[in-house]
Homo-oligomer: A and B are copies of this chain.
Amino acid sequence: MEGDEVTDMAERPPRRRADAQRNEKTLLDAAAAAFVASGIEAPVRDIAARAGVGVGTVYRHFPTRADLVVAVYRHQVEACAEAGPACLANATTPYAALARWIDLFVDLLVTKHGLAAALRSDDTQFDALHSYFLDRLLPVCSQLLDAAAGSGEIQADLAAYELLRGVGNLCIGAESDPRYDARRLVGLLIAGLRQPGGPAEVPAEPGQQADKPG
């Protein structure tokens, strides 16, 4: 992702002060840490303190909290979005690709503590964040869902929006609770998708009903 920077051999574009750039990085790290520790609504002053800068500096770089949150997670979101087509290309079936990609999405949410919280917030202040997430990830998820539906592995009628939201919800609080394995529950959800007759119905097929554990 940082590879983009190498293209400019000269300093043509409006040169940024070195300390400003350092600060931005420091701020993003500090904000990420603060989000983990205090949630997405961590006081600006705390973030500034963690970064060792004044509050004004935070506001200069990120005028709104949403700007900050988006910036904190942009790299990961981008990587996740770009992984979608790769999953499709490499997996044995579209359904496997979907499962794999959802797994990456779960990684994103679980390891970046505040993210799931940010997504669930209905504070209008985070609308921009919601939009960004959906803009970037909905198309990817849609493509995978469509492919899996096209191959007949899953039903066709689950919207990508709903799936993303559900997976996002399942990941809330996962990082702080050792008794809760979000990845496993997401796995159940994805497995549920594969039910031919819909979630509430039992398929009348031999071989799917009789296996009894132990």
Contacts and interface: CB of A to CB of B under 8 A. Distances in A.
B162 A200 contact: no
Interface string A172-211: 1100110111101101111111111111111101111111
A170 B93 CA distance: 27
Contacts of A199: 184, 187-188, 190-191
A211 B87 contact: yes
Number of copies: 4
A75 interface: no
B191 A162 contact: no
A211 B97 contact: yes
Contact of A213 (B91, B181, B207, B211): B91
Interface string A108-125: 000000000000101000
Contacts of A91: 208, 211-214
Contact of A86 (B162, B165, B213): B213
Nearest to A196: B211
A46 interface: no
A159 B169 CA distance: 19
Interface stretch (A5-13, A14-22, A66-74, A150-158): A150-158
A198 B90 CA distance: 23
Contacts of A214: 83, 86-87, 90-91, 96-97, 100-101, 103, 156
A96 B212 CA distance: 5
Contact of A173 (B83, B92, B120): B120
A32 to B, nearest CB: 18
A177 B152 CA distance: 29
A166 interface: yes
A205 to B, nearest CB: 5
Interface of A: 83-87, 89-93, 95-97, 99-101, 103-104, 120, 122, 149, 152-153, 155-156, 158-159, 161-163, 165-166, 169-173, 176-177, 179-182, 184-185, 187-203, 205-214
